[in-house]
Structure 1
């Protein structure tokens, strides 16, 4: 008993000494002092941070700085702090903030910087984005040295594994070395600009400044993750819950963290709800806003419940997440998976039937424009947002039918192209699951006949859509035509820079002869000053150029009479082995 008392007293003494020499706690833990400095909103006590982080660490162990110094500038020297990114040049704002982050109820933009205006706190309109302190101020990319000294100091194994992961190394996107990368082809997200300026300039008909190249890369970097993007979940202080606040951490990353955790449409929100148009969350994350979410969201099935990670398989390595998740379906739907394998539709992926109404990009064009105030030959005119009633089905590399959303793409002012027209796969089938995707693309050609921005490299983006699972599509949505052709009528609205908002439409036709994007039309386009129509809407001049050859038709129904009898009778369809039980 005496030993326990002595030990307890020693711990109190150690804590007292630590607090006595910790200028962070002396200042930020004293509300009266912080308010006298005009920074009352940044008051936080050691007890609050420990309750929210669930970690017995000091301020400096996470934020660095100099806790032994008593003078503000010296104590803040080398401090790792929130990165507030300006719209101008995407530069980090280094001046001290007067207010902490504010919080809203919109899950896509639930946190944002504020500034003072007319005595009130309002959203800071000069800010383009916010990022955490494990990113570099100059590039917005991951700062592995800061991670090593902070998170990695206590979690060395996890840091070592994460630093080698696909997410940490930007392992997928960095493989796109330019628009004419032979291994991967051109991509909707654009190329990896860092380290590729010279080679890209050699094939670009317009000058590309190092500054515009650097800013383009910053846009890429803002989506790629550090430790805090997954495990840090700041939120409004809740007096009833001491675990909630601006220092809240989550051991297992919540699904929201995969979607940027309330910092706009970044991380997987961009590829899923914007580009593929069939995201998990939908709702406010979808473009146009309000598309249906995945049925599993309501059932509270999270990303890591389906996608294998170190949570379910320690050997996979911290920070690695297996993209392919089809094997996880049988954990909850064992009978369905078993009976599906015996049906005539056994070569269809689950998503092929259970995804409808895909939103997001319905066209994207890279041409001259301005990004963060700098002129660039590569601005992404992406806001052709709209709906395709259902995805188009194509055979993947193993012969399985998968759903894709074909949409037209172009990058202007290219000198040459090494590709031949046709269908390509981003990654070969032989690669392990952790290193490949099931995404396809179709090369169209290099086209002229534009008034400017000639030599437009055209392709059809065909990413596999995997989320937004729900009620199965109807039989007629695939088999209404007698020749197996697929037709989807697409409507969209353009709302990016360069022109006043306008509406338009096109059709996607897939048949035994090829894949075609045809009938592109819109309202009259009114350009903004300084923009060319060929940069943001080259389809006006190129019309129906987006097409590739190949058999993209579905199997033809031989006995249409039997089909008509069974298509609306699920019990009979199950009995005859047409659909799963």
Structure 2
């Protein structure tokens, strides 16, 4: 009798599950009914969804809602939806979408929303971002409640581990609590606005409204990762491959997911191809567009092939990815790593020689402007996009030479600053590898001299570069100068709000006396109405102010004749232990 009751319960449970699932499919599986409602494009059935997700989950187990309700409003109540973010106020557009996502060919913007115009679908220009349904509607940050009810309901261990990971808690950027955080210093990405409004307002000369503070933070939150950012991989439906379609999931995140997976320059695309200027993908992700990608892209070596994660080490915890990957070079290049360790250049990182033509930001300034239609003293004028021929090499905290791209930065309208001029490091060298970075910055000072937006906090951004590996730079690019000086001539074009586009250039000099950004010049600048030159181009007034002291010269070659012999003969260099094999 007990057995009969248990079997009855099991059958009833199975029936409820099928019924719950089928209540969604009653509409979405019926093309005629969906077309009569005007949403024929959203027709789907359990079989094709299952083939794409490769999971037995029902519709409501992923999307929530009320699967028992028979009417549209009731069934969709509480449903987790795709977040379509509008340009005005970064507000989620709540009106029902008439069309599904479209798929383009540009890998950076392959996913986009469309709207109807004259009865035809066209790209929706009112949309600034797309986020998946595990993000919060109000802040655009992760929605751990939704994640727990959906992905976490079946993948409890993975969800709990991810919730503690650096990516989930925004463990790096959230430590920049303002422009004058003593432990970290000012950062190109700006401060963490959430929870720090009082401190930011206290050191800002212009009014900083709560709404402006909130909008600034929402702009940051679009990069914050949830479960779907890594594992959801929607694609155009392919009848020849049932696994490809708008519900496609992947167990191991592809490298594209680390770059936003077709939803603009977000996640690691921004920090790598914009800020550091030496990204893995390059191409359409680079600024200016078309910079060469990392040589490993063509060789199909992905992010998780080099960066340790649960794919290679389950003990690391789900969602944790090891930042430092230099130990992985030896797996594919054992001879080069072995001979480099005993060579004359053993104190150079691999990237120091193998990165050239650094793109991305060549200057960034935070001044008053509007973001998503809201006034703020902190708009990021970042589109000084251009090229530096080779990185500048500096010694890291352990004495190893690493490549950086020094570029001028300023935040206007500050009241005070606690920093001392000179070179600083974002994170100390004694932190474990999962927490440490090798990023540096140089504090210049709190300067007067602007006609408005005065008291500008100046620094030199110097993030370490690790990607865009390729052919090694020439010997003369480091040792051509007899006194060890490094000189890079930088060209750029400005294309952000504030002025009509204009071209310019400057030089970066690193020698025994310090690090200097000098000779900043441009063609005539025509500011737009309502913008002041000091907000987006303070360098016009401050000239060559970006400089810090210290010895940034490279080792001097004393025997130039012998150097020329090695320079002109790669075999001789290798046999003499100057370079690796």
Band of TM-score, shorter chain: over 0.9
Q: Deviations over 1:338-391 (max 9, x none)?
A: 000111000000000000000000000000000000000000000000000000
Structure 2 Cα separation of the partners of residues 14 and 228 of structure 1: 27
State the alpha-carbon separation in 2 of the partners of residues 140 and 434 from structure 1. 26
SS of equivalent to 2:434: helix
The answer to whether the 8 A contact 1:491-1:505 is kept is yes
Q: 1:516 to 1:111 in 2, by over 3 A?
A: same
**The residue matched to 1:434 in structure 2 has which SS?**
coil
Q: Aligned pair 1:273/2:236, yes or no? A: no
2:476 maps to 476
Give the secondary-structure state (helix, strand or coil) at the position aligned to 1:297: helix
SS at match of 1:224: coil
Preserved contact between residue 502 and residue 522 of structure 2 (Cα < 8 Å): yes
Q: Following superposition of structure 1 onto structure 2, how do residues 131-170 of structure 1 map, counting pairs within 5 Å?
A: 131-170=131-170
CA distance in 2, matches of 1:17, 1:445: 64
* Offset, 1:119: 2.1
Shift of 1:16: 9.2
Within 5 Å, give how 1:444-523 maps onto structure 2. Answer: 444-523=444-523
- SS of the residue aligned with 1:446? strand
Taking the aligned partners of 1:429 and 1:466, their CA distance within structure 2 comes to 17
1:223-242 matches, within 5 Å, as 223-242=223-242
> Aligned residue for 1:206?
206
Distance 1:274 1:181, change over 3 A: same
Q: State the Cα distance separating 1:173 from its structure 2 match.
A: 0.2
Kept in 1, the 8 Å contact 2:479–2:556? The answer is: yes
Count of aligned residue pairs for this structure pair:
573
Partner of 1:61: 61
RMSD of the TM alignment (CA)?
1.3
Measured in 1, the distance between the counterparts of 2:112 and 2:430 equals 44
Q: Distance between the aligned counterparts of 1:495 and 1:47, measured in 2?
A: 48
Structure 1 residue 15 displacement after superposition: 6.2
The answer as to whether partners of 1:19 and 1:26 remain within 8 angstroms in 2 is no
The 1:65/1:503 distance shift into structure 2, 3 A limit, reads: same
Q: Please name the residue that 2:283 is paired with.
A: 283
Quick one: distance in 2 between partners of 1:218 and 1:473? Answer: 40
For residues 137-536 of structure 1, the aligned pairs below 5 Å read: 137-536=137-536
Cα distance, 1:51–1:454 mapped onto 2, change above 3 Å: same
> Who is 1:3 aligned against?
none
For the 8 Å contact 2:21–2:58, the answer to whether it is kept is no
| Aligned mates of 1:516, 1:208 — CA distance in 2 | 33
503-512 or 28-37, which moves further after superposition? 28-37
Q: Deviations over 1:246-273 (max 9, x none)?
A: 0000000000000000000000000000
Native 8 Å contact 2:61 2:150 kept in 1:
yes
d(CA) in 2 for partners of 1:204, 1:567? 53
Query: Contact conserved, 2:345 with 2:579, CA < 8 A, in 1?
Result: yes
1:19, distance to aligned residue in structure 2 (A): 3.8
Please state whether the residue corresponding to 2:274 is helix, strand or coil.
Answer: helix
Confirm or deny: 8 A CA contact 2:21 2:60 kept in the other structure: no
Distance 1:64 1:213 in 2: 32
What whole-Å deviation, never above 9, does each CA across 1:545-571 have from its counterpart, x for those lacking one?
000000000000010001111102100
TM-score normalised by the chain length of structure 2? 0.97
Q: Is the contact between residue 19 and residue 25 of structure 1 (CA under 8 Å) also seen in structure 2?
A: no
Alignment partner of 1:22: what SS? helix
Seen in structure 2, the aligned counterparts of structure 1 residues 77 and 17 have a Cα distance that, compared at 3 Å, is closer
In 2, Cα distance between the equivalents of 1:48 and 1:167? 32
Do the aligned residues in 2 keep the contact of 1:280 with 1:294 (CA within 8 Å)?
yes
Aligned with 1:435: secondary structure? coil
Instruction: Give the whole-Å Cα distance in 1 for the aligned partners of 2:44 and 2:312.
Output: 35
Deviations 1:105-147 (A, max 9, x none): 1000001000011221110000010000000000000000000
Counterpart-to-counterpart distance in 2, 1:568 and 1:240: 55
Structure 1 position 575, deviation (Å): 1.2
Q: Deviations over 1:424-481 (max 9, x none)?
A: 0000000000011000000000011110000000000000010000000000000000
Q: Which residue of 1 aligns with 2:122?
A: 122
Q: Answer yes or no: is the 8 Å Cα contact 2:390–2:488 preserved in 1.
A: yes
Q: Render the CA deviation track for 1:182-210: whole Å, top value 9, x for unaligned.
A: 00000000000000011100000000011
| Long gaps (5+) in structure 1 | 1-6
Change (3 A) 1:242 1:16: farther
**Are the equivalent residues in 1 in contact too, given 2:440–2:463 (CA < 8 A)?**
yes
Between the aligned partners of 2:13 and 2:87, the Cα distance in structure 1 is: 49
In the alignment, structure 2 segments of 5+ residues that lack a partner are: 1-6
- Provide the rounded CA distance (Å) in 2 between the counterparts of 1:118 and 1:64: 34
Displacement after TM superposition at 1:22 (Å): 3.3
Q: Following the alignment from structure 1 to structure 2, what is the Cα–Cα distance between the partners of residues 54 and 129?
A: 27
Displacement, 1:315? Answer: 0.9
How far apart in 2 are the matches of 1:424 and 1:129? 35
TM-score (norm 1): 0.97
Change (3 A) 1:336 1:507: same
Q: Does 1:83 align with 2:101?
A: no
Corresponding residue number in structure 2 for 1:28: 28
Tell me if structure 2 keeps the 8 A contact 1:344–1:579: yes
> Deviation per CA, 1:208-230, whole angstroms, max 9, x where unpaired?
01111000000110011000000
> Is the 2:403–2:465 Cα contact (8 Å) retained in structure 1?
yes
